[in-house]
Structure 1
Amino acid sequence: MGASSAPYYYVPSLEAAIIFVVLFMAATILHAYQMWQTKTWFLTAFCCGGFFEAAGYIVRAKSATESGIPRYEIGPFVAQNMLLLVAPALFAASIYMELGRISEALRADTYLLVRRQRLTGTFVTGDVIAFFSQLGGSGLMASDSNSVRNIGRIIAIVGLVVQIVFFSCFIVAGVMFHRRLRKKPTQRLLEQPQALRYERHMHAIYGTSVLIFARSIVRVVEFVQGLEGYIATHQIFIFVFDAVPMFVVMLILNWIHPSEIRSLVNGGKMAKWVRLIECAPVSS
């Protein structure tokens, strides 16, 4: 296999891959613990995304132990590309669901641009389309045929664009919901001041959404440039614009855990890192 067909156009860093394996595994295990203890089951997709990230860097570390250009095996390259490409779509699914949980807890469904019963379904449907488009596209990019690889690249771009479009609409929906609540708080907010901490969770939604949005923009540019483009041939981009932002997304929700908004209003356990705080239910 010549250099022009090498799956990597650089020597993958073993040290960087190991660092992110450890970081993503630690954050994911903590998320799984928090989810289990607080019964915040809608974060299942989020935890799966964390395992995908860790698995992607495990496979990347395996590539880094191989002989080097042009001897890298195509299998591990494709596997790490697929895992790292689709993991943020799983993060997005849980973030979409959190807005619906906030609306339900605060009894603010009338402030949503889309009915709560349809909110999660609408955005998660877009996320599923993005997920399978990116998964299928990255798989086709493993082909020996240039034409098939180009088709795969285009499909992956479509998946990323779908993700960006739905995230843009979601951010607009979140901002409008938040503005309406600030302008005219619901009766639950007026009667239960502690529920005002919902704003922490809105800010967490904004922060995580912007990070995934920005990461998706960079990946679109990468695929538009092609497998031999500047971004694809410089591994610094995968770490600075993918690994770091996605790890920060996980940390944000480790700290501002979605269990908090439910427990503040309805009681139950809330998580903050490894701490579990029992909250008594408040009257309606």
Structure 2
Amino acid sequence: MAFETYKPSLDDPNAWVPYRYYPSIPAAAIFIALYSIVTIAHIVIIVTRRTWSFTPFIIGGLFELVGYIGRAISAGDIWALGPYIVQSILLLVAPALFAASIYIILGQIMVFVNGGEFSLVPRRWLTKVFVAGDVISFLLQMADFLNLGEKIIIAGLFAQIVFFGFFIVVAITFEVRFTRHQAALSLKLAKWKKHMYTLYVGSLLIMVRSIFRVVEYLMGNNGFLLRHEYLLYIFDATLMFLVMVLFLWVHPGQLRTSPSPEEATYTLDIDANNALKQKGSSHHRSHRV
């Protein structure tokens, strides 16, 4: 479908147009290449290490890739709605899939250190709660493409920020509680710390991108952000690419590998301490009776 009879000026502030500029083919081509490389690398790792729980992350990478292919096609005809809608939808929702994988990673860290009891949200509900928030956000964002209005999509983006913000609070609270409880943490800081820091950096990148998107939609079709394509590549394309590189560098599949002797001893100490606490609590209750 295309605008066959009416094509308003791209500078007309009162008209809705798919783009306020002619999309850059070189910029789209660069990110098509970058996302192709990093997504293929993630696919290789997920297959070789059998980390199937990280599948949403791969799908997010594919969404980014196809989204920028859509932008490259739009450069040939900015009035064609098909490529425009494809790139709008896929680039909008891909970070939600990255976020879903980050939720899963926190749960894996809790399992790795046997510290689920220190989470604000019970570990068995952790992924379910936040993925449900992602689904709500996703459905609200899709409403815009069903002609239900931009206010709905803004609500979806706000929902994404709220749920993701709460997740960051949960992650930080877990780390603080667990670190405070385990005096032996200085042993080697174990590998879980590295994954927590990676989770924080990835979360920050996604949060910045989400805020950028909210401001973009609040400013409207003729807003400053939608009139300058380079901002999309700085605050969306680049940030999401860095998220993919980050989790390629520190892959959550490492949490499934056998722990080192020091880490194994550390985990045994945790189990022993917990067992002693439970035994002491039980003895105290029986003594009171």
Normalised TM-score (structure 2) = 0.83
**Structure 2 matches for 1:6-85, cutoff 5 A?**
6-66=17-77, 72-85=79-92
1:251 equivalent in alignment to 2:245: yes
For the residue of structure 1 that corresponds to 2:226, the secondary structure is coil
Task: State the shift of 1:202 in Å.
Answer: 0.4
Query: In 1, Cα distance between the equivalents of 2:66 and 2:182?
Result: 43
| Structure 1 stretches of 4+ moved >3 Å | 281-284
Moved more, 242-251 or 231-240: 231-240
Say which SS state the counterpart of residue 121 (structure 2) adopts: coil
Please list, as runs of the form range in 1=range in 2, the aligned pairs for 1:188-227 lying within 5 A after superposition.
Answer: 196-227=190-221
Q: Point out the more displaced range, 86-95 or 124-133.
A: 124-133
1:171 alignment counterpart: 168
Structure 1 residue 264 displacement after superposition = 4.1
**Counterpart in 2 of 1:237?**
231
Q: Structure 1 residue 96 and structure 2 residue 103: aligned?
A: yes
Return the offset for 1:194.
6.2
Q: Distance in 2 between matches of 1:133 and 1:196?
A: 40
Alpha-carbon offset, residue 164 of structure 1:
0.3
Residues in 2 aligned to 1:172 and 1:78: alpha-carbon distance in whole angstroms = 34
Separation of aligned partners in 1, 2:46 and 2:127 = 19
Q: Does 1:2 align with 2:8?
A: yes
The whole-number CA distance in structure 2 between the counterparts of 1:26 and 1:133 is: 31
Normalised TM-score (structure 1):
0.84
| Residues matched between the structures, number | 254
Distance 1:282 1:32 in 2: 29
Could you tell which deviates more after superposition, 240-249 or 26-35?
26-35
- Verify the 8 A CA contact 2:63 2:94 in the aligned structure 1: yes
Which protein is bigger by CA-based radius of gyration? 2
Structure 1 partner of 2:257: 263
1:231 aligned counterpart, secondary structure: helix
Q: How far is the alpha carbon of 1:6 from its aligned partner?
A: 2.6
Which runs of 5 or more structure 1 residues have no equivalent in the other structure? 141-147, 268-278
Alpha-carbon separation, structure 2, partners of 1:72 and 1:14: 16
Aligned Cα root-mean-square deviation (Å): 2.0
2:137 to 130, 136, 142: 130
**Inter-partner Cα distance in structure 2 for 1:206 and 1:160:** 20
Deviates more, 1:195-204 or 1:210-219: 195-204
Q: Deviations over 1:193-224 (max 9, x none)?
A: 56711111001110111111111111001111
